[in-house]
Each structure stands twice: as C-alpha cells, then as structure tokens.
Amino acid sequence: MKYISNDRVLNFSFKKHNNAPWIKEDLVKYYASGREAIISLIDLLATDGKNRVALLPAYVPQGLYAPFEKRGWEILLYPIDKELNPIWAEVELLIKRHSPSIAILIHYFGTIQAIEKFVEICHKNGVKVIEDHSHILTKMDKFEYKGDYILYSLPKMIGVGDGAVLVLRDLTIDIKKLTFHKTRTNHIYLLKQFFLLIVNSSIYKIPSAKLVNILSAVFGKLFSSYNNLMSIYQNPNKISFLSYKIVERVDFDELIKTRSRYAKMYKDKLNPKYFTKLSSINSENHAMFAYPILVEDRNSFYKYLSKKGIYGTYLISNWNYIPKEYQGSSKFVDTEYIINHHFVLPTALHLKDEDIEKIINCANEWGEKRYLK
C-alpha cells in the first residue's frame, strides 16, 4: 500500500526557471526562515517611533507570534470566522482602541482571504499590513499583492532546507537597513533539514505505507530542527546557498498548475454531505499548501485515512493563542471551531492524480460509513 502524505521531497531540475511569483518585484530579501524575516522587519519598524503594537489573527503560527513576543511588542488578537476571514467589527474596534502599527493577514492553507478589505481598513487608520503567503503560491500575472510586506516561507511549499522571501512594497522603508547576522548561526538546523529532505525523498516510494510512516516519524523526531530554529532566529540569517540554487531551478508554473489541479479535484469530488468546503477556496492559478475542509469527527477521519496509507494533518500545535479567559466565549467561537475541526488533505507535487483520486474516494467512503450508522 502506497504512502500518501504532504511531506516535502526534493523536486527540481538542473535548468534555471526563475519564474517564482516574486521574481519581478524590485525590493526582495531572502532570509533563512519566515520568523527571521519578521524579526528583521519589526526591528527596523521599531526605530521609526510608532507604537510597538501588533494586530495578529487568533489562529496564528508561533513563527509569526514569537518574534513580536520576543521583542516586547503588545500583541492584539482578532477572531476569524468559519471562512477564515477576519471578523471585521472586531478588527476595526481593536485598531481604534489600540492604534497598532502593524497587522497581519494569513492566506490560510492557500485560501484567498479578503486582503483588499483588510488593507483598506488598516491603511485608513495608518496601519501597515504584512500579507502572509506561506501557504500559497500564485502566478505572477494572476494575482496582485495588496499588503505592504509579503512573506513567503519556502519549505512549506517546495523541497528546500531553509528559505523565506520578504517582498517590500512599502517605499518608505530603507531596505539597506534590513541586515543579516554577520556569521551564519544555523548550520545544525540546515544539516537536519536537508537530511530529512533526503530521507523523505528516499523512503516515500517504499510500498509499505505503515513502514514509511514509522520511518518518517522516527527520523522526524531524531532530527527535529524546530528547537534549533527557535534558538537562532533572533539573529537573522540569509537563505543558504544550496536552497537558493534549488529555488532558481524549481518550475513554479508547473508547481502551481499541478497543485491547482489537485485542489480542483478535491473541490469537485469531495461529497459536501460529509465535509464543509470553504467558499474562500479558489483553486485556479495558485498552488495551495494543502486542501482544507471542516469535518465533525476529525480523529475518526484521520484514523480511517491512515489505515488506507493516507496521512493528512491539522495545524493546532503552537497555533492557538486565544487567552484562557476568552476560550469558549462568543467572541472566538468561530475561531475555536476552525481550530478543532479543520483538516488538510495533501496536494504535494510528487503525488499523482490517482493518489488524489484515492484520497477522495477514501474520504467519501468514510463519510458514507459514518453517516449511515
């Protein structure tokens, strides 16, 4: 039985494609990770005399939250609805009460959120916007950036050991002041990341899903690099030479075409009786990190798929920053529903159409068995 997951593997050619979504932008910085890009940016913004107050979604990864916390910024959290969009009344209220200098909107899992409205609200109140593209890649001629700063976290979508891209559209910022640490501090992190990439690229073709899953879990635990990254990100590194060369050789047009096709297959064929599909999903002309659905019995669904050799996932570890006193309140009820019921299905580039068909068939089969009880 084949192992099917969203794990990253090495996937590039020896030909330079140079067709990344940000390639035509004038002001671009390549960092080793997204959190290093963020901490470099906010260190620069903190020197302009503005409030050190940040507005973040309540469903947010540690990689975005930790830099602001580490630098002593006040962090405001806005709730999101069941379509992953901000709850606008709360956003406007928080901005008027606290006057943040920066706000973040995330295109979760590759969905396209209402960035135009978010930017309009923020800009009329003097708030700069970070538009997080860590889960999405778009064709250059099909999507227009709206935020002041655009963030890409490359290992989320392609097989590289490190890498983040910060696109600067704010012309008031001096890009020369965005500096890197003088000496590289992430050697151990890089070695672990590339080792895991090589392992995943080697084992995923083993015709035993159970064995591959065990090997992946063992190597993942032994060579986990998360703690290494958390200990070094305060001194920003630039992207490694090897990762940069891989990025040049990734065919982003083909990547977007393939992942877009997989997303459309899910959108068209998953049975809406059993799964809630988000209307914020537009499967054309962009690549999704994974295909998100909302499912009532997530644990049962996960176990059923894993028995078929399919390993989807959900993002909850280090993603929930709702204060305990607000958990269960009406203010964050939709946000908590998303946290507790979302599930993302694989769209990895190394998968085949028949793999996606198998996932869809198994998912619908689970729904039929569960709802016919």
CATH of the domain at 121: 3.40.640.10
Question: In the numeric block, which tokens belong to residue 101?
Answer: 């200098």
CA dihedral sign, ordered 21, 27, 29, 34: negative
92 belongs to a structural domain: yes
What is the spatial distance between Cα 332 and Cα 338, in angstroms, rounded to a whole number? Answer: 10
What is the spatial distance between Cα 316 and Cα 69, in angstroms, rounded to a whole number? Answer: 19
Query: For residue 139, what are the domain limits?
Result: 11-177
Under 8 Å between Cβ of 21 and 259: no
The reported pLDDT for the residue numbered 212 is 66
Give me the residues paired with residue 128 across strands: 102
| pLDDT-derived band at 8, boundaries 50, 70, 90 | confident
28 belongs to a structural domain: yes
The reported pLDDT for the residue numbered 90 is 96
Residue 205 has pLDDT above 60, yes or no: yes
Mean pLDDT computed over 135-163: 86
DSSP structural state of residue 176: G
Task: Identify which of 212, 164, 127 has the alpha carbon closest to the alpha carbon of residue 30.
Answer: 164
The reported pLDDT for the residue numbered 209 is 66
The reported pLDDT for the residue numbered 201 is 82
90 belongs to a structural domain: yes
149 belongs to a structural domain: yes
132 belongs to a structural domain: yes
| pLDDT-derived band at 286, boundaries 50, 70, 90 | confident
Mean pLDDT computed over 346-372: 93
The reported pLDDT for the residue numbered 149 is 95
Instruction: Look at residue 122 and give its three-state secondary structure.
Output: helix
The reported pLDDT for the residue numbered 373 is 60
How far is Cα of residue 315 from the mean position of the Cα atoms in its chain? 10
pLDDT per position as a tens digit, 76-107 = 999 999 999 999 999 999 999 999 999 999 99
Report for 47-51, 107-111, 196-200: range of highest mean pLDDT: 107-111
Task: Identify which of 165, 187, 192 has the alpha carbon closest to the alpha carbon of residue 235.
Answer: 187
Under 8 Å between Cβ of 314 and 298: yes
Residue 180 has pLDDT above 70, yes or no: yes
250 belongs to a structural domain: no
Under 8 Å between Cβ of 237 and 36: yes
16 belongs to a structural domain: yes
The reported pLDDT for the residue numbered 280 is 73
Burial label for 47, CB within 10 Å (0-12, 13-18, 19+), is: exposed
Mean pLDDT computed over 236-263: 93
Count other Cβ atoms within 10 Å, centred on residue 9: 18
| pTM, full prediction | 0.91
Task: Identify which of 33, 192, 56, 23 has the alpha carbon closest to the alpha carbon of residue 130.
Answer: 56
Q: How many domains are contained in the chain?
A: 1
Task: Give the total residue count for the chain.
Answer: 373
281 belongs to a structural domain: no
Residue 226 has pLDDT above 80, yes or no: no
Q: HSE-up of 190 (CA within 13 Å, CB side)?
A: 16
